[in-house]
Chain A
Amino acid sequence: MRYAELQVTTHFSFLRGASSSEELFATAAALGIDAVGVVDRNSLAGIVRAWEAAKTTGVRLVVGCRLDLSDGMSVLVYPTDRPAYSRLTRLLSLGKSRGGKGKCILDVSDVEAYSGGLIAILIPAEADETTAAQLRKLAAIFADRAYVSLCLRRRPNDRLRLHNLSNLAARHKVKTVITNDVLFHDPSRRQLQDIVTCIRNRTTIDSVGFDRERHADRFLKAPEEMHRLFSEYPEALARTREIVDRCRFDMSELQYQYPEEALVPGLDAQQSLTKFAWEGAATRYPEGIPDKVRKAILHELELIRVMKYAPYFLTVYSIVRFARSQGILCQGRGSAANSAVCYCLGITSINPETGDLLFERFVSMERDEPPDIDVDFEHARREEVIQWIYETYGRSRSALCSTVTRYRAKGALRDVGKALGLPEDLITQLSSGVWGWSEGVGEKQLKENNMNTADYRLKLALDLSSQLMGAPRHLGQHPGGFVLTQDRLDDLVPIEPASMKDRQVVEWDKDDIEALKFMKVDVLALGMLTCMAKSFELLRDYKDIPMGLSDVEQEDPATYAMIRKADTLGTFQIESRAQMAMLPRLKPRTFYDLVVQVAIVRPGPIQGDMVHPYLRRREGKEKVEYPTPELEAVLGKTLGVPLFQESAMKVAMTCAGFTAGEADQLRRAMATFKFTGGVSKFKDKLVEGMVKNGYTREFAEKTFTQLEGFGSYGFPESHAASFALIAYASSWVKCHHPDVFCASLLNSQPMGFYSVAQIVQDARNHGVEVRPVCVNRSRWDGTMERIGNSDRFAVRLGMRVVRGLSTNDAARIILARAEQPFASADDMWRRSGVSPSSLVKLAEADAFLPSLQLERRQALWDIKALRDEPLELWAAAAEREAKVIAEMQEPEVALKSMTEGREVVEDYSHTGLTLRAHPVSFLRQDLNKKGIVTCAEAMGQRDGKWLWTAGLVLVRQRPGSAKGVMFLTLEDESGIVNAVVWPSLFERQRRILMTASMMAINGRIQREGEVVHLVAQRLFDFSADLSSVGNRDGDFPLPHGRGDQVKHGGPPDPRDNPKPVVQAREIYIPDLHIDNLKIKSRNFH
């Protein structure tokens, strides 16, 4: 018995379906259904996923879509061929452009206009007049491609309804076809289906009422069962096959065309690229192109010609050329840095002459998929590049990819809890104990929070939220992945307007784009490039040192000395805790050491257990030996330890005789071997090849296991080198111009691991004078001020650190004071025209103190007297006299000065940093009494010493590679202490670890060379003491940098989400914004 299920809704209908394509297709395969028609609502967002699932399971996919029209009619449409598919995508794009973000507005006439080649199935309600009218319309539009669905609902009079519908259809000469309106793959998903309905309707399960899906049995049924249920309609059953046969369209037919850009008149793409490449090479090597490079370029150009990738290179080239012309810093990253052509075109900065590049890591014959060039731009100016791309390629040919926002543990619990009517504080309490993204919530958390584990609703919430995890919630906008085409893009994929103005996105995410082998250019934002650009600007303007990224002095010993001390706060890549811990051990002395440093603190090398051998060899504790000279040539630079993806590939090539393309396949297979098991054939080949080349079998096996570890989590060397360039440049600026570095870091926020407070503290530790925000001197950005007549500079904080102050208001203030500084708050208010509420923000940030000598309270007092509008008579008089005329004479009011502790708290609340004393210093006496030592003291102790120390919790990190170990950074007035929390302690004192803003640690000092850690034994929450510093209620407003994973979640760990396709990259860190600190209002009780 054959049957095709034509009406299947996946969870890509967003909170409608309850199962993924993978689940649906696997079930269909198990049941013996031979084709599945995926019809998501007004969307093709899930179709690529479905296509992949279809390829895996062998069940045929019929591409389709459910159109809910504005007049209440619902039709399923299926394109029969490629042109029909394009009509469908255009129809959807039209509806989405009308409906705006997330909506789609279409009516019958639109469907009529795009109906060619589409098969339509009407979803009828009852067999009544309305349905009859719809049938007439459908028959008129689609003729013999019109069908009407017969679907069992398990409601009263079902059989009669089907009978009447069948008669009605016959009367209007529309064919009937059986569908099953599937919402989930298995009956057990019914409850989740109700929950997603509640989430979609923003209601609770108790009040959702009849908005639930009331038609029963919405799961996939076996063909036999369908034939039994519809035994009276054999011809309608047979038509499911008929429709499948008529729909010959397959996703693989989508032919992608590269846009033709930057062509030299009279030359084709390949010729143009050749011309540009050689021209670029000549500029890069003024003294003549080295032979090695010449050969590389020839080799690459040949491969590009064969693969027809020239237009892609030209596109990226023209984007980079535009950025350069605008003075926007940019640099290619990723495997593209393996290409000499990219270097010559100025896309990447890794010199192929010195490096040992492996082009096949970037493009290979065997891997028939387009190359992936990612280019980083200054994050502050990336929008210019994006808008240029839209303008150049036109909105019909360019769009951003989308990103699928999926449910993770906390989000799922929150939404399911809400739908089940759980109180909000209960959900918050439960999820506050959840670490990271993937940790589920279970009975353990309930017990920890003294919650009733037998409570049915709670149990349901835990159960259903774990089912919901991983389901897509909505489509977002990819931060910079552009899809560009030569022809209309909406012929390939529906386009919808993004929530951001002037942006549009396609319905597919980057994995979908990759699966279809479309070209994507990643226009990424990198905060550090902004910081570098701003640094060079400040150097030019204040210190008269004109320079650019390429002018940074190479191999500067002072810079490396600083890096070796792990004094790298704020620099690129090597500023994280894990990196800092490694620096004193790795002791970088040259650029290549830095490349290794960037690459080594990665899950790949750590899991492949390559870090320790490398360190031992570097420290000379282990002999560096190579079984053969070939291997020495390959791994000589990394002391015999393969640290990069390229190393693994080269080992396979030199020792086992792989071709470059095969080696790349091996790398990819290793990345995915855990999921597909397809690595064994490579293993045999590698081991046999090595044995044949004279290696022992044991050594070959060992090599293979070593390589296994980092297929996907290692860096390509080219990428590490690109990053190391920026890491070095930022370190150089920090080393030689700490003032400039501090100012430009502050001006580039939000970025990096550390909060503003820590950056400022670090700068001051380096002898930089930091001056407070001032209404008469600060600009929006931080600036440099010459100290007296010396050649030294101080950093003046900009108004951007003032919480809640808008750029517009700051601009008005700066404009108004241009001629004459403000004399008082009243004067400022009149001349700048800024509302009193903005002045309050400045006063709260203590910006009136430096030049007007108005203490925070006095300034607030003065501002409080201001009204909405100045009195006109006085304003006129003031204008005439050109001075401030007070509207009234007020008696002087003497306000109490704030306590120093309170000032510090207010500083933190309103600017996120303080230039006054450290908050912990106010508690020092108490701490001394308790026998708690300062952080600096603790770090200076001998190995094995037990002690107590306390400080503000700055950073909490639990790197995925550290097997549950948590790294904590505490800070007090003397410095910081780096603490390590083992998993068992983490579990025991999780609540303190997750919530405390200040804690005391009892632990043992562990010294390894210059690396000092405090291994925590017991933790105490000192948050209450910290709150008492300001003599106020409410929590201490401690800011957290992005390095803190509790407050910022951190990027999702890629290992949480194993996917059977190769991840293109996993180094991208999304631009999270620092949460606004919530300061609790005072409550008097």
Chain B
Amino acid sequence: MPADQPLVVISKSGSKRWVSAADTAARKLGLKLGMPASKAQAIVANLKMIDADPAADAAALERLALWALRQYSPVVAVDGADGIVMDTEGADHLQGGEGLLISGLVNGLRGRGLTARAAVADTWGAAHAITRMTSAETTVVPVGGVAKAVTGLPIHCLRLVPDTIHGLRVMGVETVGELSAMPRAPLTLRYGPEVGRRLDQIFGRMAEPIEPLRTPELVEAVKNFQEPIGAAETIAKYVRRLVGELTSKLETRGLGVRRSDLVIHRVDNTRQCVRAGLAKPVRDPARLSKLLCDRIEKIDPGFGIERLVLVALIVEPLEERQVASSLIEEMVVDVTPLVDILGNRGQRLYRVTPVASDVPERSVMRIGPTADETGLTWAAKWPRPSRLLANPERIDVTALLPDQPPAVFTWRGKRRRVKRADGPERIFGEWWVRPREYAAVRDYFVVEDEAGERYWVYRAGDGVDTDTGSHLWFLHGVFG
């Protein structure tokens, strides 16, 4: 992408689309945040538009915070949707002081292609405000200098809800200084206690602890062997123990496992891994053990195994649920264990579900084995072949136009005489999908040959208008 091409990020909600971020080039051309996407497109000719992905943004910000955690300070947290806050107290000397710390940080980020602004201040609120409201790349507010630094800043750096900000601005209150100079009681009466709280936070009159971000801890169970083991039964025995250990750890945290890895360290310093995936979070030792033990045969112990590590890689919250008596509630047979067993053997599992489409190829869809119902049911009203060919096959046909079934057709070199037939079932192309289907028509016939075999054949086109299709014949399915 050329660097000078203006770029905007488009957010979507329902059928509304608006500009949620714009780069410098785009801003220069007069694009504003909140502007309807099409208006922006109309203003700028070769505008590059990217769809917003808030989840990915949040994940990226968190990765950045983790990076900062390793580099700068043990107390780091994500601040809003666009910032990171950290407590540098006692950590700045490692980088040569506060100034060097933040300039190093900003430079480091620039090296990664990110533009950043950083500030050091006595309070979280002040640093938050300064980074967002000033254009300086780095700012260090001296100890006790917060009040001076923030009084001139506009009030919408105060982390208040937009309604409150709007209300205050209507009253002519524009800056933090003006707001803090107002008597507190009338403010609280009109705008609630939040205004006072945020003011106190920014000036350091009220503590605001940072809830630090930690690297995620993996739940794992480890077993070292003095004597290397190798027999399948032994492995199975220890796997069960490890599973027991792991599930009890998970239980204390209220978690269930979605994916677990069994890492096998061999004496020759090579490693092997057995992975078990689950359709739903589970911490039932028996089920997990079975899934892992089923795969023991795949393990090659070589000269012996000296260490087994069982890691719960993906975990999800799992709450215990009281099972109602079968007298009250109908038992729902849970098929997920079976799904897990088959899935871990390497089979691809799916369910098929009907789709509201008349075009046979599009009338079914594969969905995940445990996906929710789509709400559509299989309509049994109209006969459909038990086997639908992935690609319709050309057949040679003798038939009368416009709507008579074939009298004779040749499929895969074999000539078949039609004894009985039903049709045509006229199916139109889904004209909104692509131009080729705008006028397309298929006339489907169910035909039965002399041997009593039934086939689903169609003619492309309605037999009258050549715009609707080529009038060639195809075989699309075989009835059982």
A residues apposed to B, CB below 8 Å:
154-160, 187, 190-191, 194, 205-206, 209-210, 214, 216-217, 418, 420-426, 428-430, 448-451, 456-457, 460, 857, 860-861, 864-865, 890-891, 893, 895-898, 991, 1081-1085
Contact = CB atoms under 8 A, between A and B. Distances in A.
B428 interface: yes
B170 A857 contact: yes
Interface stretch (B15-23, B120-128, B136-144, B340-348): B15-23
Contact of B425 (A156, A448, A857, A1083): A156
B42 A450 contact: yes
Contact of B186 (A205, A217, A893, A1083): A893
B17 A425 contact: yes
B435 A456 contact: yes
Interface string B41-78: 11011110000000000000000000000000000000
Given A425-B17, A451-B41, A857-B171, A1081 B166 contact: yes
A824 to B, nearest CB: 15
16 contacts: A154-B426, A190-B428, A190-B431, A424-B17, A426-B37, A426-B38, A429-B36, A429-B39, A429-B41, A451-B42, A456-B434, A891-B183, A895-B171, A1082-B169, A1083-B34, A1085-B34
A254 B385 CA distance: 57
B48 to A, nearest CB: 12
Contacts, number: 132
A544 B435 CA distance: 76
Given A210-B356, A428-B36, A216 B428 contact: yes
Contacts of B182: 893
Contacts of A426: 17, 37-38
Main secondary structure, interface of B, reads: mixed
B37 A1085 contact: no
Given A154-B425, A429-B39, A865-B186, A1084 B172 contact: no
A1021 B465 CA distance: 53
Contact of A865 (B17, B190, B376): B190
A936 B169 CA distance: 37
B42 A448 contact: yes
Contacts of B18: 425
B156 to A, nearest CB: 5
Interface string B143-186: 00000000000001000001001110111110000100011011
B218 interface: no
B416 interface: no
Contacts of A456: 434-435
B32 interface: yes
B274 to A, nearest CB: 43
A155 B382 contact: yes
B171 A860 contact: yes
A893 B428 contact: no
B33 A1085 contact: yes
Given A457-B432, A890-B183, 20 more contacts: A154-B424, A155-B382, A156-B423, A158-B422, A217-B426, A422-B15, A423-B12, A423-B17, A425-B16, A425-B17, A425-B36, A426-B37, A428-B38, A429-B41, A456-B435, A857-B170, A864-B167, A890-B185, A898-B172, A1081-B166
B1 interface: no
B12, B16, B38, B465 — which one has the most chain A CB atoms within 10 A of its CB?
A: B38
Contacts of A214: 358
A205 B33 CA distance: 31
Nearest to A425: B36
**Interface residues of B toward A: which range?**
35 or more
Contacts of B423: 156
Contacts of A857: 170-172
The 10 closest A-B pairs by CB, nearest first: A209-B356, A429-B38, A425-B36, A154-B426, A896-B172, A216-B426, A449-B42, A1085-B33, A424-B15, A891-B183
Interface in B283-298: none
A430 B37 CA distance: 12
B41 to A, nearest CB: 5
B2 interface: no
A156 B423 CA distance: 6
Interface string B427-447: 110011011001000001010
A690 to B, nearest CB: 56
A154 B468 CA distance: 16
A157 B428 CA distance: 18
A205 B38 contact: no
Contacts of B190: 861, 864-865
B469 to A, nearest CB: 13
B185 A423 contact: no
Contacts of A421: 15
A157 B171 contact: no
B18, B32, B45, B190 — which one has the most chain A CB atoms within 10 A of its CB?
A: B190
Contact of B422 (A159, A210, A893): A159
A1081 B170 CA distance: 12
A741 B222 CA distance: 94
A425 B45 contact: no
B383 interface: yes
B189 interface: yes
Nearest to B15: A424
A1031 to B, nearest CB: 10
A1083 B33 contact: yes
B15, B18, B37 — which one has the most chain A CB atoms within 10 A of its CB?
A: B15
Contacts of B34: 1083, 1085
Given A425-B18, A857-B172, A1084-B162, A449 B32 contact: no
A423 B356 contact: no
Contacts of A217: 426
Nearest to B32: A1085
B428 A420 contact: no
A616 B428 CA distance: 66
Contacts of A420: 432
Contacts of A194: 431-432
Contacts of B14: 424
A191 B16 CA distance: 26
Nearest to A211: B356
A985 B382 CA distance: 61
Given A157-B422, A209-B356, A861-B190, A418 B15 contact: yes
B432 A460 contact: yes
Contacts of A418: 15
B17 to A, nearest CB: 5
A156 B426 contact: no
A191 B37 contact: no
Contacts of B165: 1084
A886 to B, nearest CB: 12
A325 to B, nearest CB: 52
Contacts of A448: 42
B422 A890 contact: no
B172 A450 contact: no
A205 B433 CA distance: 10
Contacts of B428: 190, 216
A194 B433 CA distance: 13
Given A157-B422, A423-B37, A449-B42, A891 B434 contact: no
Nearest to B435: A456
A421, A423, A896, A1082 — which one has the most chain B CB atoms within 10 A of its CB?
A: A423
Contacts of A187: 465
Contacts of A1085: 32-34
Contacts of B434: 456
B432 A891 contact: no
B156 A1084 contact: yes
A308 B468 CA distance: 60
Nearest to B434: A456
Contacts of B15: 418, 421-424
Contacts of A457: 432
A1035 B32 CA distance: 13
Interface string B366-384: 0000000000100000110
Contacts of B171: 857, 860-861, 895
Contacts of A451: 38, 41-42
